[in-house]
Amino acid sequence: MPDSDHAIAATFAPHDHQQCAHRALDEAAARLTEQGARLTPVRRRTLEILLESHRAMGAYEVLDRLAAEGFGRQPPVAYRALEFLVTHGLAHRLQRLNAFAACLHPGHDHHPAFLICRSCDKVAEAAAAPIRDALTAVAAQGGFRVERATIEALGLCATCAAGGVA
């Protein structure tokens, strides 16, 4: 995963979001080509919707957007597209929010920790290897083998904190 500290700061700071969205979309297309998978129109549009901002979106919010653009109003339309994106490493499912966020580093296999601002709802990916290693070590001491863990932290981003959000 690219420089995590810079990526976190960039996610929460005002910036040209179209540039990072275009980069992530290009990386996603390349990844799918390597995997022999296809980015159908509904999958592509779903990913574009997720990439419009650095926040997580619920499946029904995505479905409403897809339906408004003529992709159909049946929940499986959104759920299939979202599941495809998660399966292929192009999006992440955030358990705490019951929502999905575009992966901002789809060219890299990783399992990030998610930093979620409780005020602006933006989500940043942070390198989680040290946290996962510590969790695995603690679990192993008790004879437990971690197979999967989702690490999500709720707090305030620097922008919201500076704006006086309590």
Lowest-confidence segment of 21-25, 37-41, 45-49 by average pLDDT? 21-25
Which pLDDT belongs to residue 78? 94
Is the per-residue pLDDT at 11 higher than 70?
Answer: no
Is the per-residue pLDDT at 106 higher than 90?
Answer: no
Whats the size of the chain, residue-wise?
166
User: pLDDT confidence of 13, banded at 50, 70, 90?
Assistant: low
Is the per-residue pLDDT at 141 higher than 90?
Answer: yes
Between 135 and 4, whose confidence is greater? 135
The two structure tokens encoding residue 149: 């863990």
pTM across the whole model? 0.80
Is the per-residue pLDDT at 129 higher than 80?
Answer: yes
Q: Are 108 and 129 in contact (CB under 8 A)?
A: no
Which pLDDT belongs to residue 49? 94
Which ranges of the chain does DSSP label H, i.e. alpha helix?
A: 4-12, 17-35, 41-51, 59-68, 75-87, 129-141, 158-162
Q: Are 63 and 118 in contact (CB under 8 A)?
A: no
How far is residue 119's CA from residue 156's CA, in Å, rounded to a whole number? Answer: 7
Which pLDDT belongs to residue 1? 46
Lowest-confidence segment of 7-11, 124-128, 138-142 by average pLDDT? 7-11
Percent of the chain whose predicted confidence (pLDDT) is above 90: 50
Is the per-residue pLDDT at 46 higher than 90?
Answer: yes
